[in-house]
Every structure is written in structure tokens, then in C-alpha cells.
Chains A and B, each alone.
Chain A
Amino acid sequence: MATLTMTGAKPVPSTMQIAIKEAFLTAFLVFMLSFLMIGFETQAQQGQPLSYVTRFAAIVWGIILVPLGRILIVFNRHGRPMPALIGGGFAFLYLFGGAVIAILFDVLVIPFNDYFGEAAGAAGIPLPFADPIVDAIFGLGALYIVILGIQTMRHTAHGELTLAQREAKEARTALRAKQISMVLGPALLVTALVLPFTPWSDRVLVETMTLILTYVMLGWGLNIVVGLAGLLDLGYVAFYAVGAYSYAKLATEFGLDFWASLPLAGAFAAFFGVVLGFPVLRLRGDYLAIVTLGFGEMIRITLINWQAFTGGPNGITGIPRMTFFGVPFDRTPEEGTQAFHTLFGLEYSTMHRILFLYYVILGLALITNFFTIRLRKLPIGRAWEALREDETACRALGINPTNTKLTAFALGAMMAGFAGSFFAVRQAFISPESFVFLESAVILAIVVLGGMGSQVGVALAAVLLIGLPEVMRELSLYRMLAFGAVMVLIMLWRPRGLLAHREPTILLRRGGGKAKPRKAGATA
């Protein structure tokens, strides 16, 4: 990482020397990473001992291409971006373009298969890797090098800013994030409201949007716990599960409809929040994280094994569908009753229920949002934020940390409970499969990626993290890989989250005016 500022007896190595040294190190690392895991593909066939096939060609290409990229980066870092621009640009066009052509060729000409196997050869383009998606990934790597080169050209490369410059830059991005949120928030809302009525909306789109909004609501609910109160909850999905199972049981056993069970499900989830939270909320930071994770797993394991009550791994089926405040969406209503379409004199359409579900979750999410924004202005909200910043000081000021945290925990849990019953009514089927740790991780990622405490950021992150994999369904096998990679990359790019801005919650308006309460120190 050292720049050329070495002094003393050692001669300064030339850029070429550094580049070659780094290239060898990179080649060695690529070899280490790929030799066993990529070079040998184990194959398990029924009734036969485990065997393997070798894939050394891929390793050789990796060992050639990655160090070349490294050389370009080194040259770029030493103020010579041209190789990065030309070499990276060429590699990007060839690899990515070739891969796209190969995939298109594969999809259009050869019957579709999951692996796009041997498509490259079929399209007549000699690509290094048999799987065009791997070629495309390398192409994107080349694109990254080109972007680095452009940044150097514009003298905005990272790493060589002084502390003051970096702070100024952070302030600028924070301001920009704030401006973007101001525009993006209403824009997203309007889009969400009218999208189902635009001509290009169809069933798939509305269902995807419903899914995204469920996560937006969960994200906003978890934001109360993580963003406002600063409690790291890794088992949030447990409360989602409680809400879902509450509705399922209430509806199937007691015949309650969705609107009657919604408050009950929220109350149950909040009750669980209090019961689980009470003993552990005096724990700090990561201890709390691991305990909540443990609770999440405990509830999931209980759901799997308590056959009599939860139906075990098979879950609960035949959960009553959503009704329009008691009026069903059936095609043929029972004798003497109304269905939605007869009530409003419409033609029957399956879209009615889907659209209604969509607006219900939109409404629930907006209520959560409004609730959170209002809570922040109440004494309890202030107490949460104060507690997040400094627990000891809060104690000294007479805030009861346990009760305050418990409120946040219970309210967050309640929101998850609402979202859970919505999930149950939408799916009409629930099983423990839906409440694994990955879900908690995704919800937490939505909160953090969006920028903690930023409501618009949460919505944006949910669109990215949930919508993107849905769009990428075609690349089924690479979907989750991309999902994880996006999580890492967004964090590397914006460690504070996409739309993080630090704005003080309270300002002293009169008097000195300098007494700006700082919210920035949340890093401890």
C-alpha cells in the first residue's frame, strides 16, 4: 500500500518492479484459493464412492487473468491510468460482451439449461471459462479496474486524502444522501401507490412488490430496535414467526379473520419480545446479539419439533385467505353472501386479492413508518437514542435502561408480528423453513445497508436486496452468490449505509446556537 515516499538507503523500486512482485503474490494467492476447491470437483453419485474430475484449465486462466488485473491496478495507483483504461476496457468488452453473447446464444438456440454449460464453444467465441457467467464476473472485475482508472484520471482516487479532506467528503456525501432521501422518499411512495395501475404492471410485478414491502416493513420495525435503540438483534425473524403462527392458529382453530387476529398477533409477538428480552437486555452489544440469535434458533427448532401445535416441518396449510374486511374474494360466494366482485359490481379477477394484499402491506408499512417517525419525537424515542449513544450517562440521568430497551424490543417485535400475520395470510401456508437465520440476516442487512435510522434508505435497500434476486431468477445458481457479494460490496463502498446522514434529532434553537448535539459518535 506504500506510496513512493520511501527514503533512506534502499533504492526506490520502480512501478514495474512493484507490479511484478504484486502480480506474483496475486498469482500465488489465486493458486492457493483455487487449487483444491476449483481444481477438483467432487462428484457424489448414488451407490458409488465419491470421485472427482479435475478442472485445471479454469485455474490456469485465473492465475493468468487476476495478476494481470493486479498489474493494471498497481500502475493506476502510481498515477498511470492508461493501461487500466485500455487493458481493463478491452478485457471488459471481450469477457462481458462475449459472455452475454454466449448466454443469449445458449438461451435462444440451445434448449435452456441451468448451467449454460459449453455455451461458449457453441457460440463460437473462445472464452477462458466454460461457464459464461464466470467470464462475465471476470469482465465486471475488469470494469472495476476501468472505473479505478477513470477515478485516477479525475484525481478522485481514494486513500490519499487527508483527514480534513475525508471529513469534508463525508459531510458532502451525508448532505447529498439527505437531499437524495428528500426526493427519493416521496418518489418511492408515489411509485408504490400508482405502480399497480401502470400499463406494464402484471401479477408477477405486484407480487414482487408485495414481497419487497413486507421486507420494508420488517426493516422499519427492526430499525426501531437496531437503528434507534442500538440493540443488535440477530433473531428478529423469531417474532415474525410468532406473528405468522399466531394468525395461522387463530384462523384455523378459532376461525378469526385476518383483521381480528392482526392486533392479537402483534400483541403475542410483543409479549414474546418482553419475555425474551427481559432477562437478557442488560447484556451489552455482541452478547445481546448472540443471545437473540440463540432465541431465534430456539423458536425455529421448537416450531419444527412441537408437532402437535405447529405441524412440525410440514407447517400449517390451508390458512384462510385474505378477505376484504370480511368480504371474501371468492369467485362463487356462498349462498346469500357477497363476494368482493359482486359487492362492487366488478368482473371477477384473481388480481383483486393480489392488489388488495399489496395495498394492505403498503398501508401497514406506512403505518410502521409513521409510528417510528412519531416515536422518535416522543420522550421514549429520545431516551432510545440517548441510550444508544451512552448507556452510563443515561443511567446517571435517571433513565431506566432495561425498561427503555424493553419497550423498543417489544415494539419492534410487534411490527414483526404484524408483518408475520400478513405473510401467513398471503402465503396461506407457513412452515419453519421460512424463519431461518438467513431471514434475520437479510432484514438486518436491509437496515444497515440502507443507513441506520434512515427510513428511505431502508426502503431503497429492501428494493435492492429483495428485488434484485427476484429479477435475477434466471441466474438461479448465482443468485445467492450475487446477493452476498452485493452485501459486502455496498458495505465496502458506503460503510455507513446507502443513505446515511447524521442529522441531530434535537437542536437548541435559541441562545448560543453552537450547542449542536452530536450524533456522530455511534461508532463505539
Chain B
Amino acid sequence: MEYFTQQLINGLTLGSIYGLIAIGYTMVYGIIGMINFAHGDVYMIGAFQAMIVFLICGALGLTWVPLQLALMLIMAVIFTAAYGWSVERLAYRPLRGSPRLAPLISAIGMSIVLSNYVQLAQGPRPKPIPPVIRGGFQIMESDAGFVVQLGYLQIVIILLTVALMAIFAYLIAKTPLGRAQRACEQDMKMASLLGVNVDRTISLTFVMGAALAAVAGMMVTLYWGVNEFAMGFVAGIKAFTAAVLGGIGSLPGAMLGGILIGLIEAMWSAYFSTEYKDVAAFGILVLVLIFRPTGLLGRPEVEKV
């Protein structure tokens, strides 16, 4: 029981990170129907920028942890959003209206460009940073002496994710931007006829996705403490799996999918084997898709002939 609770906490933390990345995939897919393969690398860039801000903080002598965290968060979000915008502007916007595979290949190319760019700019070695937030609560202790730990960092990650989800839900449901996004999602041509600036809306979608990926990148920098130029791929694949699992195009679905993937990974590593945790995640995805092809919270696609 205690062991299970611990895995639950770990899984939720990991799942929050996946969920935040997955939102970027799901929003982009919802609006222009493409798999943004470069998103995983945007997340990686977010993680690197957060790490660099942390180092600058250290060099400037800012050691108060909340200030450090706030600076990492804000700077990483702003600077990574620029990458999200540029990727869309350079590699996807010129391809709007092209055959469906063209943006996909362009995205894969962009992903290769970004990861190699970071390898060139920051070097190929893994970059470790010391833990910023230590310690945590001890929730319970089993008879055998197994202590369930809820780290302060884990609380920060989960709370931040919940807060961001709330902001996002509001943004999509209530603001003009959210309305424009939903309109573009339903029918891009009609939306543009009704005066929605489609290009701008799509750009902002990428900016928002990149911002959330940057938050996820910051969290992972704090949580694992090691960044490396190739880290975007696996995280990206899992996050996309999460988006599909939850029902692509649906924001709550992406979060749910992310948390499920995180839990599956944590539980599988804990009870079966660490080596095959990715196989488990993909296996569950295949099962879900076979029995519920639109994902858990996705709307069924009605096909009209």
C-alpha cells in the first residue's frame, strides 16, 4: 500500500510533465491537423533555457529559491515561445494547404535541425545542475519501515500544472483568443470569412504550446537535474502518445492521457521491469486505440460522404 502510494505520487508528477507537453501537441493537431514533431525539441529548448537562467541567477547571486523559480519560469516561457513562433512561421506556415505529409516531413526536419542546433550551441554532453528544491513531507510509514515521500518539488510541479490547466481552461472557454481558436478548429475557412485572423490564431497556438512545453522543460530540469540535447525525442513521443490516448484535440484529454502515461510508467517500473516501461506505455495506447479509436475523451469523428 505504502509502496503503491509512493508510485502514485511519482506517476502523477511525471504525468503532469507529460500532460503539459501533450497539450502543445493536441492544440496544434486540433487546429491544423498535423503532428508537430518539433514540439519535443521545443520542450528540450525550454529545459535548456530554464537551466541557463538558473545558472545566470547563480552568477548574479540571486539565491532566494522562489525568485529563482519565478525567473526560470518566466524567462524560459518567454524565450521558448519565440522558438514556437519561429518554427511555425518558418517551417509550417508556408506549407498550409499542401498535401498532408508535407508539413509532417517539414516537422521531422525541423526536429532534427533543433536538436542538432542545440548540440552545436551547447555541446553534446549531458548538463547536470544541483537540486534546487530539496526535502519533502513524509506522509506515512509502513511497518517494514518504507517511508512514503512527497517532495516539495513534486508539490510545486503538481500545483503549477493544476494552476496552468485552470488558466488554460479559462483562456480557451472565455477569451476572444480561445473563441478564435475553437472557431479555427471547427472550420478554418469559415472562421477567416467571419473575420478571425487565422494565421495569427495559429501562431498564438504554437506560442502557447511552446510556453507550456517550456514549463514542462523547467520542471524536468528541476526534477531530474540533467539536460541533454537528445532528450526531446522520447519525451515528445510519449507526450504525443498521451495526447492520442486522451483523445487528440481535447485539452482535458491531453492532461488525462499524460497522467495515465506517467502512472503506467511509474507502476510498470515499480512492479514489473524498468526496461519495458515504454513498451507498456505504447501497449496500452494500442489497446485503447483498438477498443476506442478516438481516445478516451475524444469526440467520435463523424464522416459524411
Report which A residues bind B (CB closer than 8 A). 29, 32-33, 35-38, 40-44, 49-52, 226, 232, 279-280, 282-287, 289-291, 293-295, 297-298, 301-302, 304-305, 392-393, 437-438, 441, 444-445, 448-449, 452, 477-478, 480-481, 483-488, 491-492, 495-496, 522-524
Contact = CB atoms under 8 A, between A and B. Distances in A.
Contacts of B129: 49-50
Contacts of A44: 123, 125-128
Which 7 pairs of residues, A with B, have the shortest CB-CB distance?
A: A487-B109, A484-B112, A294-B282, A495-B98, A32-B82, A484-B113, A488-B109
A484 B130 contact: no
Nearest to B278: A301
B293 to A, nearest CB: 6
Contacts of A232: 101, 104
A386 B293 CA distance: 23
Interface in B41-61: 45, 48-49, 51-53, 55-56, 59
Nearest to A49: B130
Given A283-B293, A477-B120, A523-B100, 5 more contacts: A37-B121, A291-B289, A297-B282, A488-B109, A524-B100
B136 interface: no
A481 B113 contact: yes
B95 A294 contact: no
Given A41-B122, A302-B279, A448-B101, A280 B106 contact: no
6 contacts: A44-B125, A52-B55, A280-B286, A290-B285, A481-B117, A492-B106
A495 B95 contact: yes
A491 B35 CA distance: 16
Interface stretch (B146-154, B171-179, B186-194, B237-245): B237-245
B187 to A, nearest CB: 15
A496 B114 CA distance: 24
A360 B264 CA distance: 46
Interface residues of B, number: 75
B286 A304 contact: no
A449 B35 contact: no
A263 B206 CA distance: 48
A51 B58 CA distance: 10
Given A290-B244, A480-B116, A36 B283 contact: no
A226 B130 CA distance: 47
A444 B120 contact: no
B303 A392 contact: yes
Most buried by A among B91, B121, B127, B301: B121
Nearest to A40: B52
Contacts of A287: 244, 289, 293
A481 B120 contact: yes
Nearest to A437: B233
B266 interface: no
